[in-house]
Amino acid sequence: MKIFLFILIFFCVNLYSQSEYVDSDRSVYNFLSRHDALHTIENYNSFEIPKTRREIAEYLNQINEKSESLSPIDKQILADFLSEFEFDRTGILTKAISPFAVIEYSPLSEKEKYLFYFVDKDRANLFINLTTQVGMIFNNKIHPQTSNSTTYAGYGGIIRGTFLDKFGFMVKGENSKVFGNKATALLKKEIRYNFKFNENEKETFFDEASGYITADFRTVIFKLGRDRLKIGYGAIKSLFDDNAPLFDYLGFDIKYDFFSFSYFHGKLLGEQKYFADLVTGGYYTISDKFVGYHRIGFEFSKNVSFGMGEIIVYGNRPMDLSYVNPFNFYKTIEHSNRDRDNAMLFLDVKNNSIKGLKIYANLLIDDISFDKLGSGWYGNQTMINAGIYSSGLFNYIPIEVLFEYFRIEPYTFTHRLQYNNFTNMGYNFSSFLQPNSELFVCGFNYYLNYRLILNMNFGYSVHGANPVINGNVRNVGGDINLGHRTNDPESVKFLGGDLEYSRFISALITFEPVNQYFILLKAEYTNTALQNSVKKKELNTFITFQLTF
């Protein structure tokens, strides 16, 4: 990551910028979701993240106004967030330090640390951070028994700023190197689909970059960029999660009182093919594909919300203005476009009328024929996710509990044309789950103190895999990258095919000994029984050190 190149780029862009967003993996979202359930804040949409720093600051102010009712641990967590978002809340900086602004700079300070910051109230601000990360991964395959390990180390930088209280930007980049077993390194998601790392066997470097510009007019927020979107309730997001590579998109959000509307249109990577060529040394061809999303949401009351929306995936042609238009019915437009694309409808609902208890559900209809319901017709493709979250005892025992269920019918997310399936570079947008699967998850977060958190998840899944007989695939709708073919059966059965069972336990300890310095220890145990009598037992351990300064 060339931080000084970023600085040069910044001063050459004539201040085209955005209100900054808070990365979707930050712990502040879990904090806000908990206080949404506890009725400390109102009108919090946990279905779609990330959110702007201004929005988060407003929610933190709501919580701060009721700080007397918080548990001792939440009071300490809130104090950390009030310090982190001090400028966004107050417009001033009293709890920030930089080696360029403070003579007695200490890397162990509990204040917010920046490499450099500049503030001109109501006109412009700029914040620059350096980041570094060191990690170790241990892969222990109990059956069959093998053991490998790897280490990686990287550095990067973040530049963000806002101008005239409405326009802002963010640029982030990281460069890292792997020392050790490459196959073990692929257990880290960011490495698994990194082109730089996987283009040849000897490559040990991987990188990732994101950035965006936005314009925040409070009621309407525009955004052009590349960052991680998470859409769905619960621990595993049902529509968009962190399983697939990042993609670039253009979007906006409208929020007024009880009504909200959100939209984005993004560019994806489709099927990849390699062509050997003695002259050029070989080359890849990758088909372009696109995804569109829009959702309308309603807050029926302080504790009940409802949303409905559509997703469209299409490819094998340039960007289609029919879907760039956010105020269209994608399903109808798909028909007028001669049924070449993949349109999906979804509904979501959340109810937290009981203080400390949140009930939610999300139904996605990929395709359906009501007169064939119950017939086993392959075209009835749906996904349902439902869950219960509780933090009702948090003021007495600092624990959160979660139960979730997923059911994905055969062929859901697939398409007869591969470039129209619900993937980016072949990876499911939402999760590791394939079509023709169901998943049960139980999890909890326990706060040992305000900076030491234990997260545990227990899961059990069943997948109906496509049988392979004499080298030929019998399609039962169990592979997201294989849609229904003309010679495949018209009737399918949920969990038909070769049943694969998976049981997993994961534990994550997050420790922040000093503000902005993190130690993460994660262990994942999986016990799987796959088709063709293949059984696997595996224990993966991740140790990560992250520093931002």
Q: Which residue blocks in 165-300 are alpha helix, DSSP H?
A: 182-185, 189-192, 195-198
Helix (H) or strand (E) holding 344: strand 342-351
Mean of pLDDT values over 32-55 = 95
Number of domains in the chain: 1
Mean pLDDT of 148-173: 95
* pLDDT confidence bin for 40, thresholds 50/70/90: very high
How far from 504 is each of 429, 456, 460, CA to CA, in Å?
21, 11, 7
How many contiguous H segments (helices) and E segments (strands) does the chain have? 10, 27
Report the candidate in 388, 340, 348 with the shortest Cα–Cα distance to residue 365.
Answer: 348
Convert 22-87 into a string of H (helix), E (strand) and C (coil).
Answer: CCCCCCHHHHHHHHHHCCCCCCCCCCEECCEHHHHHHHHHHHHHCHHHCCHHHHHHHHHHHHHCHH
Q: Checking phi first, is residue 374 left (phi over 0); if not, alpha (psi -120 to 50) or beta?
A: left
Q: At what angle do helices 53-65 and 28-37 cross, to 10 degrees?
A: 50
Q: What is the mean pLDDT of residues 523-536?
A: 92
How confident is residue 279, by pLDDT bands cut at 50, 70 and 90?
confident
Whole-angstrom distance, CA of residue 377 vs CA of residue 90:
58
418 secondary structure, DSSP code: G
Please say if the pLDDT value at position 3 is more than 50: no
For residue 418, is pLDDT > 50? Answer: yes
Position 533 pLDDT exceeds 80: yes
Cβ(215)–Cβ(18) below 8 Å: yes
Give pLDDT tens digits for 185-208.
999 998 998 988 988 888 999 999
Residue 357 has pLDDT above 90, yes or no: yes
Sign of CA dihedral 212, 49, 263, 370: positive
Residue pair 229/192 in contact by the 8 Å Cβ criterion: no
Asked if 548 and 113 touch (Cβ cutoff 8 Å), the reply is: yes
Q: How high is the pLDDT of residue 103?
A: 67
Give the model's confidence band at 259: pLDDT under 50 very low, under 70 low, under 90 confident, else very high.
very high
Q: In 3-state terms, the chain is what percent helix, strand and coil (to 5)? A: 15, 50, 35
φ, ψ of residue 535 in degrees (nearest 5): -120, 140
Q: What is the pLDDT of residues 434-463, one digit of tens each?
A: 999 999 999 999 999 999 999 999 999 999
Distance CA 19, CA 169 (A): 7
Most confident of 6-15, 54-63, 185-194: 54-63
Q: Which of 19, 48, 53, 22 is nearest to 33 (CA)?
A: 48
Nearest in space to 287 (alpha carbons), one of 317, 248, 245: 317
Q: How wide is the angle at C-alpha 272 spanned by C-alphas 481 and 336, nearest 5°?
A: 60
HEC letters along 359-412: EEEEEEEEECCHHHCCCCECCCEEEEEEEEEECCCCCCCCEEEEEEEEEECCCC
pLDDT the model gives residue 14: 38
For residue 400, pLDDT beyond 70: yes
Instruction: Give 84-100 pLDDT, tens digit per residue.
Output: 999 999 988 999 999 98
Percentage of residues of the chain with pLDDT beyond 90: 81
Q: What is the mean pLDDT of residues 330-348?
A: 95
Tokens for 224, please give them. Answer: 């052009």
Rounded Cα–Cα distance for residues 223 and 219 (Å): 13
pLDDT, tens digit, 9 for 90 and up, residues 479-514: 999 999 999 999 999 999 999 999 999 999 999 999
> Which pLDDT band holds residue 275 (cuts at 50, 70, 90)?
confident
Q: Please report how the helices 53-65 and 72-84 are oriented relative to each other, as an axis angle in degrees rounded to 10.
A: 140
Q: Output the domain CATH number for residue 336.
A: 2.40.160.10
Note down the domain range covering 373.
3-548
Distance between CA atoms of 457 and 234, rounded to whole angstroms?
12
Q: What would the pLDDT profile of 71-87 be if each residue is shown by its tens digit?
A: 999 999 999 999 999 99
Closest CA to 240 of 336, 309, 186: 309
CB 368 within 8 A of CB 386: no
| Average pLDDT across the chain, whole number | 92
Cα–Cα distance, 94 to 91 (Å, whole number): 10
d(CA 229, CA 125): 25
Q: Distance from CA of residue 92 to its chain's centroid?
A: 31
Contact between 145 and 117 under an 8 Å Cβ cutoff? The reply is: no
Q: Is the pLDDT of residue 222 over 60?
A: yes
DSSP string over 431-481: -SPPSSEEEEEEEEEEEEETTEEEEEEEEEEEEEEPPEETTEE--SS--TT
More confident of the two residues 282 and 389: 389
